[in-house]
Structure 1
Amino acid sequence: MNDQGLGGWLARRRLRSPDKAALLHGEDGRLTYKELADATERAAAVLASQGVSRGDRVAYLGENSPGFIIALFATVQLGAVFVPINTRLAPPEVAHILRDSAASLLVHDVEFDERLAAVAAEHALPPSLPTTDGDGRPGFPSLMRDAAPGLPGVRVAPADPAAIVYTSGTTGRPKGAILTHQNLTFVSLNCIIDYDVTSHDVALMISPLFHVASLGMGALPVLLQGGTLVLEKGFEPGAALRQIQRHRVTMLSGVPTTYMMMADHPDWATTDLSSLDKLTCGGSAVPTRILTAYEERGLAFAQGYGMTETAPGGTSVPPAMSREKQGSVGLPQFFLDVRVADEDGRTLPAGEVGEVQVSGPNVFAGYLNLPEATAAAFTADGWFRSGDLGYVDADGYLFISGRSKDMIISGGENIYPAEVENLLADVPGVAAAAVIGVPDDRWGEVPWAVVTVAPGAAVDTTTVAAFLDGKLARYKIPKRVVVVDELPRTASGKVLKAELRERFAA
């Protein structure tokens, strides 16, 4: 087999566990590893018939489904690059990703036809292929029926690009992080080792697979080990609890908000959770109330820290240490090194705050089309600069003490203020704007906009929301707009966001 990347995984699984359930979906949907491998190879033949070849980018816009997994593995089998798109993005954001990635084909769920029509009204779309048949359009299912299984025979190396995942940009535009086959393989191995993933695991995928955390630290490790994925199209706490009980789910990944919503659901106390033994959580620290609610059911979290550029593994706190090291994001994952360094690259001793830097085989290859940003992201000796501030304790556990990039994390979604501020500058009447994160009991943080307005202008939350609707994903739209006489600034004119947070986020 020439494929040393992800594309060979399912063929190898077909040999080892052909009749094992790989995917469970819908009411009674089930695909074994043999069926999944065969379907993926047929899908690769379909993509090739659409002109996809080595190095091409295949974009995917859709919810969690077998189609997502099949399209991913079919793409990489051809040596092409998979580009998942966040389904919550507004048409201009989708257009930017399609244009920036130079996608040669767009695979999509028909539920997003209206969104894509809005994109097409302003921008040229690449050829598209729906994941289902309908409206006279042949989709993947009908095309795959006429295709024969068999690996394409394309030589794929570990260093070849496998996916481009877009991360919100610090300067306004999302950047495409290039993840190689090696990156995604090693993040999977790190999760298998740190979370003890086995072939007996049944993982409920409540987080969307277009997020690199759900894909790289949830779906891929389970498939590599020959476990079973239960695919949920969207998250609803009651449905998630029912699926845990029905399928005897052993593994669950989410963000604090999803775990909170499950614990607050009326069915929480009566749902059989005895099968669960792996809960992983990222995005932000788990509140004590939620830790307690799950501990009362005999459950503990493995919490962690990472970013798109690390595919996204970084550190993890073993469940047994979740109380003793509460507030920490954990130890470096197995095949990974993490250091805290000063501005000169000197590793700092325990307790001293510096920049968190990462080195290892799951660190990305760079940003697409952005050589200067790529160069700036690495130190002279090759460590990735996270931009986050932190320190390690005497036991080597990492604590995050600040985000130097001002990133906001709302319900597990990353929001970079610059992206929102660039659009706020176009709101009629807004003279200047700064976006900050404000604590929120449900979402962890939500964005607020602090603005100054032109003389005689009237600007409020409603007018800003109406202006931004359709231009930004709704979770990025400020939940409140505060008008001030002037923004605090440094002598050079930079807005002092720390002062704004102290004033409004206290």
Structure 2
Amino acid sequence: MKKLFDQITVGELLDLSAGRFPYNEAVVYPDRNIRYTYRQFQQQCNRIAKSLMALGIKRGEHIALLAPNIPEWVLLQFACGKMGAVLTSVNTNYKVFELEYLLRQSDATTLIFSSGIKDSNYVDMVYELCPELRGSMHGRLNCKRLPMLKNLVFIGDESHPGIFDWQDVLAMGDEITDDELVARQSSLEPDDVINMQYTSGTTGFPKGVMLTHTNLVGNGYSIGKCMGFGPDDRLCIPVPMFHCFGCVLGTLACVSHATTMVMIESFSPVKVLEAVEKERCTALHGVPTMFITELEVLEKQPFNTSTLRTGIMAGSPCPIEVMKAVVEKMCMREIVITYGQTEAAPGITMTRTDDPLELRVSTVGKALDGVEVKIVDPENGEEVPAGVQGEICARGYNVMKGYYKMPEATAAAIDQEGWLHTGDLGIMDENGYLRITGRIKDMIIRGGENIYPREIEEFLYTYPQVKDVQVVGVPSEKYGEEVMAFIQLKAGSRVSVEDIKNYCSGKIARYKIPSYIHFVDGYPTTANGKVQKFKLREMGIKELSRYENVANLV
């Protein structure tokens, strides 16, 4: 196999696996009874690639995709990888304002979308953005609010004025010959941008992260290698495809090693466990909140998870107690943690399946092959010794090409020596294993003391009735900031503010004990499961303003 870090495109990667393991299952949708072998999957991707070419889409043109984890998502990912369009992932929870921003900022010429999810009707959103659609011909849209947008394609059974039907677009692909597709695919370069991911918005307005074939293929291959993936493995993927967790740590990690992708269209702990049992999955991905709800279901309803071996818990800090429970109760003895961010495609470090459990629950592993990691002093940028906290920086094949049309933001994120400054705080030991201690912007400064929310969160997880906890800083006239904990209790638990404070007393430093404690049923999150701490901080400030005696806030 070619050196995957710099000499192969996404389309070539699929062709390699389809050539080596043509009859191995590639994609399975249990709820739809869809099963593609690698050869069938390759053929379907080729067909869609030719259809996109028939629409007139050129190499490097931006295609926005707004849909949950439906079969067309996975097919489009690799079809674009073959014909060179830049697949621009759209968060499925976006509303009209956010969708308009992404389409305009990305210069997307084509939007492919499904009917919607939950309370979001994508068809209505599209007509609100482009009322001109109702009187326009296919491919000749002249949208006042989105002048670059020309093609709208609907995935579904209904027809809509001015919008291409998916089946009609597929039929158009017959106009393109196999040789034309081969020529297009051969013209692509590994350094071409092939995917654009928008930052999740936990710290500000989304930025378009430009990711190349090299970024994605190399990262997917390394991730799969760390998990020991092979043709006999079957990965259950319930995480969203519009995020790197789904379309890199999930699908690309699988295709790199001819592993089977078992897809979940929208997360449900019961559906995940049913799929694991029915399809005899050997691996399962998820963010901590997903695993927490799966463990809750297993307490009430038995599912056979004995085939599970590995998988990734990532997307937000992974509580040690949850990791241990997944190992013990879900048979995932080789579960690993991946740390990174979208700008790193996304993996930077990872634990390995043969690492001792203690390392796999207390660190986020060491650098992936081909990736350098260092810890620097946030104040002066100088590298710090092992065991000293600082900002995590990464350099290698996986670092993004930049933010789309944002050169100043790109320069702020990647220094002149090619180091990506993550904004995350961590400590690296003498063996290269990294422990995350927080984000620079999450750091609480109380009376001159630096407090890192992660440390307090890990401690509060040890309280038997605590299901989940998030810690933020809120303003204080006396100390500058105070610690506020948002605690989610296990079902049926009755716990008071004083119970929590008494538990903390004598076990952690007094200045780290939360001044304010608020019991909640859940947290504001992005669609890929990241808790939006800036929203929790806003909630905390509002709660404090409602109570004169804030010490008794519950």
- Secondary structure in 2 aligned to 1:296? helix
Instruction: Give aligned-pair identity as a percent.
Output: 28
Once residues 120 and 475 of structure 1 are traced to their aligned partners in structure 2, the CA distance between those partners, rounded to angstroms, is 32
Which structure 2 residues correspond to residues 152-163 of structure 1 after superposition, within 5 A? 152-154=182-184, 155-163=187-195
CA contact (8 A) 1:22 1:32 kept: yes
Which structure 2 residues correspond to residues 443-458 of structure 1 after superposition, within 5 A? none
CA contact (8 A) 1:205 1:253 kept: yes
Match of residue 307 from structure 1: 341
Answering whether residue 478 of structure 2 is matched by residue 441 of structure 1, we say no
CA separation of 1:504/1:89 partners in 2, compared to 1, >3 Å: closer, same or farther? farther
Match of residue 506 from structure 2: none
Once residues 288 and 264 of structure 2 are traced to their aligned partners in structure 1, the CA distance between those partners, rounded to angstroms, is 18
CA separation of 1:243/1:348 partners in 2, compared to 1, >3 Å: closer, same or farther? same
> 2:22 aligned to 18, 41, 45, which one?
18
- Secondary structure in 2 aligned to 1:405? helix
Once residues 297 and 207 of structure 2 are traced to their aligned partners in structure 1, the CA distance between those partners, rounded to angstroms, is 37
Provide the TM-score with structure 2 as the length reference. Answer: 0.72
- Secondary structure in 1 aligned to 2:285? strand
CA contact (8 A) 1:41 1:152 kept: no
Match of residue 193 from structure 1: 225
Shift of 1:276: 0.5
Once residues 484 and 66 of structure 1 are traced to their aligned partners in structure 2, the CA distance between those partners, rounded to angstroms, is 43
Cα deviations by residue, 1:157-211 (Å, 9 ceiling, x for unpaired): 1111011100045874210010000000110121122111111111111001111
Shift of 1:228: 1.0
CA separation of 1:442/1:87 partners in 2, compared to 1, >3 Å: closer, same or farther? farther
Shift of 1:442: 7.9
Once residues 426 and 552 of structure 2 are traced to their aligned partners in structure 1, the CA distance between those partners, rounded to angstroms, is 24
Answering whether residue 432 of structure 2 is matched by residue 396 of structure 1, we say yes
CA separation of 1:504/1:96 partners in 2, compared to 1, >3 Å: closer, same or farther? farther
Query: 2:107 is matched by which residue type in structure 1?
Result: A
CA separation of 1:385/1:288 partners in 2, compared to 1, >3 Å: closer, same or farther? closer
Match of residue 418 from structure 2: 382
Cα deviations by residue, 1:353-381 (Å, 9 ceiling, x for unpaired): 11110011011111000111111112232
Query: 1:123 is matched by which residue type in structure 2?
Result: R
CA separation of 1:505/1:380 partners in 2, compared to 1, >3 Å: closer, same or farther? farther
Once residues 349 and 357 of structure 1 are traced to their aligned partners in structure 2, the CA distance between those partners, rounded to angstroms, is 14
Once residues 437 and 115 of structure 1 are traced to their aligned partners in structure 2, the CA distance between those partners, rounded to angstroms, is 38
Higher gyration radius (CA): 2
Once residues 40 and 413 of structure 2 are traced to their aligned partners in structure 1, the CA distance between those partners, rounded to angstroms, is 41
> 2:51 aligned to 35, 46, 55, which one?
46
Shift of 1:33: 1.7
Match of residue 116 from structure 1: 126
Match of residue 366 from structure 1: 402
Shift of 1:474: 12
Cα deviations by residue, 1:36-94 (Å, 9 ceiling, x for unpaired): 21111111121112221011001100011220111122223222211010101222111
Once residues 265 and 161 of structure 1 are traced to their aligned partners in structure 2, the CA distance between those partners, rounded to angstroms, is 41
> 1:273 aligned to 305, 311, 327, which one?
305
- Secondary structure in 1 aligned to 2:437? strand
Match of residue 459 from structure 2: none
CA separation of 1:75/1:363 partners in 2, compared to 1, >3 Å: closer, same or farther? same
Once residues 505 and 388 of structure 1 are traced to their aligned partners in structure 2, the CA distance between those partners, rounded to angstroms, is 31
CA contact (8 A) 1:315 1:332 kept: yes
Match of residue 131 from structure 1: 155
Match of residue 167 from structure 2: 141
Q: Which runs of 5+ in 2 are unaligned?
A: 117-121, 132-143, 444-452, 455-469, 473-480, 491-523
Let me know the Cα RMSD of the aligned residues. 3.4
Which structure 2 residues correspond to residues 74-93 of structure 1 after superposition, within 5 A? 74-93=79-98
CA contact (8 A) 1:133 1:142 kept: no
- Secondary structure in 2 aligned to 1:356? strand
- Secondary structure in 1 aligned to 2:362? coil
Query: 1:53 is matched by which residue type in structure 2?
Result: K
CA contact (8 A) 2:316 2:530 kept: no
Query: 1:283 is matched by which residue type in structure 2?
Result: G
Provide the TM-score with structure 1 as the length reference. Answer: 0.79
Query: 1:178 is matched by which residue type in structure 2?
Result: M
Shift of 1:120: 3.4
Cα deviations by residue, 1:123-169 (Å, 9 ceiling, x for unpaired): 33542111234226653334324534733422111111011100045
Moved more, 274-283 or 289-298: 289-298
CA separation of 1:187/1:485 partners in 2, compared to 1, >3 Å: closer, same or farther? closer
Once residues 46 and 290 of structure 1 are traced to their aligned partners in structure 2, the CA distance between those partners, rounded to angstroms, is 45
Shift of 1:333: 1.2
Once residues 313 and 49 of structure 1 are traced to their aligned partners in structure 2, the CA distance between those partners, rounded to angstroms, is 35
Q: Which runs of 5+ in 1 are unaligned?
A: 410-414, 418-433, 444-467, 487-501
Once residues 503 and 226 of structure 1 are traced to their aligned partners in structure 2, the CA distance between those partners, rounded to angstroms, is 56
Moved more, 237-246 or 325-334: 325-334
Once residues 159 and 203 of structure 1 are traced to their aligned partners in structure 2, the CA distance between those partners, rounded to angstroms, is 28
Answering whether residue 33 of structure 2 is matched by residue 28 of structure 1, we say yes
Match of residue 510 from structure 2: none
Once residues 143 and 379 of structure 1 are traced to their aligned partners in structure 2, the CA distance between those partners, rounded to angstroms, is 43
> 1:349 aligned to 379, 385, 404, which one?
385
Once residues 331 and 324 of structure 1 are traced to their aligned partners in structure 2, the CA distance between those partners, rounded to angstroms, is 10
Moved more, 296-305 or 151-160: 296-305
CA contact (8 A) 1:88 1:474 kept: no
Cα deviations by residue, 1:405-444 (Å, 9 ceiling, x for unpaired): 34999xxxxx9x9xxxxxxxxxxxxxxxx9x99544389x
Once residues 275 and 202 of structure 2 are traced to their aligned partners in structure 1, the CA distance between those partners, rounded to angstroms, is 38
Shift of 1:100: 0.5
Which structure 2 residues correspond to residues 233-312 of structure 1 after superposition, within 5 A? 233-266=265-298, 270-297=302-329, 298-300=331-333, 301-312=335-346
CA separation of 1:437/1:167 partners in 2, compared to 1, >3 Å: closer, same or farther? farther
Match of residue 375 from structure 2: 340
Once residues 106 and 188 of structure 1 are traced to their aligned partners in structure 2, the CA distance between those partners, rounded to angstroms, is 26
Once residues 395 and 474 of structure 1 are traced to their aligned partners in structure 2, the CA distance between those partners, rounded to angstroms, is 29
Once residues 36 and 24 of structure 2 are traced to their aligned partners in structure 1, the CA distance between those partners, rounded to angstroms, is 8
- Secondary structure in 2 aligned to 1:303? strand
